[in-house]
């Protein structure tokens, strides 16, 4: 229990390791759907606030052999829960269970809940309440091959919830995946990036956060780590202020985009306003056939309709290909589930990276003219 686990989407483990190394975190150990790093509270602050790719930061509370519901209950009840909880706080449990004698994850979570509540009843005569929507303490229960681990989710809300998205749109890409894709494309502030299918603005805002050195957690106001015994407000605010001091202003005309749906553009503009980039990022309601960016982009990243995600046709991809030619064939990346549709751009596929988006198998295609 001398490590904390940093989770991420499947396939992003190497990218996450590289990011955390750049943040100065040593002794990173790659695992399935995440990495382990040394158990230090300063790393909890830093990763939660500054990682663009991580999903959650899990702090270990207990680890023990688990044979059945009785051993789960008895060992969970031995945890000194008063260090993390009290009867005035609420909690929730996120279970992930694969065990021959515990076939139902929700049942395993119920056993853990009973152990926690009985612990407090015996200690204080009262118990904390469960709040699955907005708990003070989010617990993670993982049982695999007769081994159980209980963790506190120090992130609270998952880290893709940056704080600017107030109006979700159909098939929005998750913020952490968008940030990972920008890292894969080697986007830098020297690029002039265009998203001609910008939707609610995820790529543009993630690019703006990166270009301005704005921590992805800048707009968040709740964190699970404040409930850890190791939490020190002075140290947390010192780290936060140090990171915030490196934020730069976003120059105009380096990020811009369009979407054919005026309502979607209105939502995008609202998100840009909340994120603080509405004056520097230009977006407009325009069909890809007629869209003309304010300046010629050096890079295009596009998440056009595909498969069952949204109504799609090769005509859209053909129009995208024409758009790229009009813009002097900038460096281009397309996220899609259909290589056939991508080939309709009449551009060659230079590289393909397979991923998962919204439960669908998709790929990031790097294109050349």
Per-residue pLDDT, averaged over 72-95, amounts to 96
Per-residue pLDDT, averaged over 15-36, amounts to 96
Residue 169 within a domain: no
Per-residue pLDDT, averaged over 67-71, amounts to 95
- 334 and 205 co-located in one domain: yes
Residue 171 above 90 pLDDT?
A: no
Q: Which of 20-34, 240-254, 305-319 has the lowest mean pLDDT?
A: 305-319
Tokens of 187: 């986007």
Into how many domains does the chain fold?
Answer: 2
Residue 225 within a domain: no
- 140 and 196 co-located in one domain: no
Q: Which phi and psi angles does 38 have, rounded to 5°?
A: -55, 145
Per-residue pLDDT, averaged over 6-29, amounts to 96
pLDDT value at position 102? 84
Residue 362 within a domain: yes
Question: What's the CATH code of the domain at 37?
Answer: 3.30.2130.30
Q: What digits encode the pLDDT tens for the residues 107-117?
A: 999 999 999 99
Q: Which residues contact 93 (CB under 8 A, 6 or more apart)?
A: 109, 112, 113, 130, 139, 140, 141
pLDDT value at position 309? 47
Residue 118 above 80 pLDDT?
A: yes
Q: What digits encode the pLDDT tens for the residues 49-66?
A: 999 999 999 999 999 999
Side-chain half-sphere CA neighbours of 8 within 13 A? 30
Q: Which domain holds residue 72?
A: 3-153
Residue 199 above 50 pLDDT?
A: yes
Q: What digits encode the pLDDT tens for the residues 218-266?
A: 999 999 999 999 999 999 999 999 999 999 999 999 999 999 999 999 9
Q: Are 125 and 114 in contact (CB under 8 A)?
A: no
Residue 139 within a domain: yes
pLDDT value at position 307? 55
Residue 196 within a domain: yes
Average pLDDT over the chain reads 94
- 139 and 272 co-located in one domain: no
Tokens of 18: 């590289």
**Which parts of 150-250 fold into alpha helices (H)?**
175-184, 202-211, 233-244
pTM for this predicted structure: 0.93
- 180 and 291 co-located in one domain: yes
Residue 317 above 70 pLDDT?
A: yes
Per-residue pLDDT, averaged over 315-327, amounts to 96
- 9 and 148 co-located in one domain: yes
pLDDT value at position 101? 86
Q: What digits encode the pLDDT tens for the residues 322-367?
A: 999 999 999 999 999 889 999 999 999 999 999 988 778 899 999 9
Q: Are 23 and 33 in contact (CB under 8 A)?
A: no
- What share of the chain has pLDDT > 90, as a percent? 88
- 189 and 57 co-located in one domain: no
Residue 133 within a domain: yes
- 202 and 336 co-located in one domain: yes
Question: What's the CATH code of the domain at 263?
Answer: 3.40.50.150
Write out 138-164 in H/E/C secondary structure. EEEEEEECCEEEEEEECCCCCCCCCCC
Tokens of 88: 């005035």
């Amino acid at each position: 229990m001398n490590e904390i686990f940093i989770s991420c989407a499947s396939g992003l483990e190497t990218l996450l390791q590289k990011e955390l190394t750049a943040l100065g975190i040593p002794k990173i150990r790659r695992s399935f759907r995440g990495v382990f790093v040394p158990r230090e509270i300063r790393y909890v602050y830093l990763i939660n606030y500054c990682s663009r790719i991580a999903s959650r930061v899990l702090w270990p509370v207990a680890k023990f052999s688990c044979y059945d519901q009785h051993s789960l209950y008895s060992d969970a009840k031995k945890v000194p829960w008063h260090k993390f909880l009290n009867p005035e706080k609420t909690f929730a449990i996120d279970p992930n269970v694969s065990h021959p004698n515990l076939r139902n994850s929700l049942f395993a979570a119920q056993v853990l809940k009973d152990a926690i509540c009985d612990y407090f009843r015996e200690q204080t005569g009262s118990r904390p309440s469960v709040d699955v929507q907005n708990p003070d303490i989010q617990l993670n229960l993982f049982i695999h091959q007769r081994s159980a681990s209980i963790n506190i989710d120090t992130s609270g809300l998952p880290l893709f919830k940056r704080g600017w998205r107030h109006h979700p749109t159909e098939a929005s890409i998750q913020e952490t995946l968008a940030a990972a894709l920008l890292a894969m494309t080697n986007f830098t502030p020297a690029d002039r990036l265009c998203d001609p299918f910008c939707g609610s603005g995820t790529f543009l805002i993630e690019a703006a956060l990166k270009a301005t050195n704005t921590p992805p957690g800048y707009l968040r106001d709740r964190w699970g780590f404040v409930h850890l015994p190791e939490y020190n407000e002075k140290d947390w605010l010192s780290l936060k202020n140090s990171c915030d001091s490196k934020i730069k202003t976003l120059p105009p005309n380096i990020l811009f985009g369009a979407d054919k749906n005026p309502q979607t553009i209105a939502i995008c503009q609202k998100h840009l306003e909340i994120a603080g980039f509405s004056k520097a990022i230009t977006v407009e309601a325009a069909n890809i056939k007629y869209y003309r960016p304010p300046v010629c982009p050096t890079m295009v990243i596009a998440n056009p309709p595909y498969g069952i995600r949204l109504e799609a046709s090769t005509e859209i991809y053909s129009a995208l290909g024409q758009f790229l030619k009009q813009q002097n064939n900038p460096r281009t990346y397309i996220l899609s589930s259909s290589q056939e549709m991508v080939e309709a751009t009449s551009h060659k596929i230079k590289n393909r990276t397979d991923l998962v988006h919204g439960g669908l198998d998709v790929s990031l295609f790097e294109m050349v003219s």
